[in-house]
Structure 1
Amino acid sequence: MITQVLQAIWSLSALGIIILVLLHSPKGDGIGGIGGQAQLFTSAKSAETTLNRITWMLAIIFMGITVILSAGWIK
């Protein structure tokens, strides 16, 4: 049961990382370059900062669960 929950979280974090990496702009436009300035954020810089933090958080979750599942610590 807990393995299935971890696998679901692992899959969702992988999907989230893919989506967020695709949202990053190579020239620093970030979310603002996708069709105008995002209304959710006050500036493009805060949008990039938030996007970076969420991406790092998902990457840490993904790697942590990868280690737990691959080590076989949970049966």
Structure 2
Amino acid sequence: MVKNIVSSLWMLSGALLIISVLLHSPKGDGMGGLASSGGSMFSSARSAENTLNRITWTLLSLFLGLAVVLSAGWLG
């Protein structure tokens, strides 16, 4: 019972971690810099990026912690 709940939380945190990583803005211009598009349009949203960083690190620590608990067999 508890193992199923922890396993479900682990899968949910993994999915949310993937989503939060994909929401991050790219650090470089990449291919968009070649076309001279307005890539720096959203660079003023620094606090949103910091909040997203905190969420990503929290989800990563939750994911890794649950992976250790599930792989160690502490739940039975």
With the shorter chain as reference, the TM-score category is 0.7 to 0.9
State, as a whole percentage, how many aligned pairs show the same letter. Answer: 56
Question: TM-score, length-normalised on structure 1?
Answer: 0.77
Higher relative contact order (CA 8 A, sep 6+): 2
- SS in structure 1 of the partner of residue 66 of structure 2: helix
Q: How much has 1:27 moved relative to structure 2?
A: 2.8
Does residue 12 (structure 1) correspond to residue 2 (structure 2)? The answer is no
1:18-72 per-position Cα deviation (integer Å, ceiling 9, x unaligned): 00100001138xxxxxxx86xxxxx610100000000000000000000000000
Aligned residues: 63
Does residue 64 (structure 1) correspond to residue 65 (structure 2)? The answer is yes
Matched residue, 1:74: 75
Question: TM-score, length-normalised on structure 2?
Answer: 0.76
Structure 2 residues without counterparts, runs of 5 or longer: 29-40
* 2:46 alignment partner AA: K
CA distance in structure 2 between the partners assigned to 1:27 and 1:66 by the alignment? 29
Matched residue, 1:27: 27
**Aligned-CA RMSD value:** 1.7
Larger radius of gyration: 2
Does residue 3 (structure 1) correspond to residue 3 (structure 2)? The answer is yes
